[in-house]
Structure 1
Amino acid sequence: MQQRDTVDDIVEQWARTRPDLNSGAMGLIGRLRRFNVRVDNALREYFTSCGLDSSEFDVLATLRRSGAPYELNARALLKAAMVTSGAITNRVDRLSAKGLVERNPCPDDRRAVLIRLTPAGKDLIDGALAGHVRNEERILAALDDDEQAQLDSLLRKLLVAHGDTEPLLG
């Protein structure tokens, strides 16, 4: 028998007080939300140990995975991060002050700026990535490989159904 979690109590309360509602859907969404909080906390703790916050890690990782020369324009960073332009500006400002990224004029558009990893930024993100992946593996360790693949497929199906299909870069 599967061990009970906190959401089981919530679902049972709703089933008793409002049997007309689909408490199963409430339970699934509740579990996703509660797990997301735990994942965010675990990621935040790791990023802090690297001297970063999650938004800074996101920018560095986005630049790193873009490939050499590890630079993108602000629009591409905005699209990848799904935040406001002001938020990207603040992130880039903080990373620039730490010497992890630099702003360079775009040769094709004088109004645009390219954000590029500095050697120190590349070293930091390269050093942090292996630990980040180990942290993610630890978070998912309760599931075997087949269960992880099944969950991955189901979550992809939900994301596609809700329109999360636009390419980030390119």
Structure 2
Amino acid sequence: MARRPPPDASLPPDRVAQIQQEWARERPDLDVTPQGVLGRLHRLAGFLTEELVDVYRRHGLGEGDFDVLATLRRAGAPYERAPGELADHTMVTSGAMTKRVDRLVAAGLVTRRRSEADGRGRVVALTDRGRELIDRAMEDHMANEHRLLQALTPGQRAQLEALLTHWLRAYGG
């Protein structure tokens, strides 16, 4: 069974540590050390998602809307992509993408038109209003992400990024 380093005595145990202690008491035969990483990642992901979504809401966007607009914006001028390409970049189904694009068209943030290269295909493009909105939202989003990482030193950030990159690659991400 893997041994965990002793917790920092200056800090009270967090909820995950409490859960692990309860399991150790009730089922000492189980190695619950993975909860130390996975439980904290799960809790942190929920917290971070709320903090990120709050910025999107301030701009009148949902998480999916922000994702589509950002994907179009980073495509570079003329800020357009085929719906299938958008779905690939945002990792959603084509059905979900259709709903997102419909909502953004109705809001005047994107247009949908036939592809000039392939008359059967479609192209989704940012409107000027959509580009201005995503530029403002992206500035606030990045300021928020910098704020969220302030608890870590630059060295810790780099180490965490390397570890997460390695771990994600193990799953084909």
Q: Secondary structure at the match of 1:111?
A: coil
1:8 CA displacement: 0.7
* 1:108 matched residue in structure 2: 117
> Does 2:119 correspond to 1:121?
no
1:50-129 maps to which residues of 2 (within 5 A)? Answer: 50-129=59-138
Q: 1:155 aligns with which of 141, 164, 168?
A: 164
Q: Does 1:17 align with 2:18?
A: no
More deviation, 69-78/21-30: 21-30
Give the deviation of 1:16 after TM superposition.
2.0
Partner AA of 1:116 in structure 2: A
Identity of aligned residues (%): 45
Give the secondary structure class of the aligned counterpart of 1:109: coil
16-25 vs 127-136, which moves further = 16-25
Letter in 2 for 1:130: E
> Which of structures 1 and 2 has the bigger CA Rg?
2
Shift of 1:87: 0.8
Q: How far does residue 21 in structure 1 lie from its aligned partner after superposition?
A: 2.6
AA matched with 1:105: R
| 1:40 alignment partner AA | T
TM normalised by structure 2 equals 0.91
Structure 1, unaligned stretches of length 5 or more? Answer: 165-170
- In the other structure, the counterpart of 1:26 is 35
Q: CA deviation at 1:19?
A: 2.5
TM-superposed CA distance for 1:75, in Å, is 1.0
| Distance in structure 2 (CA, Å) of the matches to 1:115 and 1:22 | 50
Offset from partner CA, 1:94-133 (integer Å, 9 cap, x none)? 1111100001211222221111000000000011111100
> Is the partner of 1:103 in helix, strand or coil?
strand
Output the amino acid matched with 2:108: G
Query: Helix, strand or coil for the counterpart of 1:102?
Result: strand
Distance 1:30 1:110 in 2: 50
Which ranges in structure 2 are unaligned for 5 or more consecutive residues?
Answer: 1-7
Secondary structure of 1:115's match?
A: strand
Distance 1:112 1:23 in 2: 51
* CA distance in 2 between partners of 1:112 and 1:10 (Å): 53
TM score, norm. by length of structure 1: 0.92
Provide the C-alpha distance between the structure 2 equivalents of 1:20 and 1:87, rounded to a whole number of angstroms: 44
SS at match of 2:119: strand
Equivalent position SS for 2:72: helix
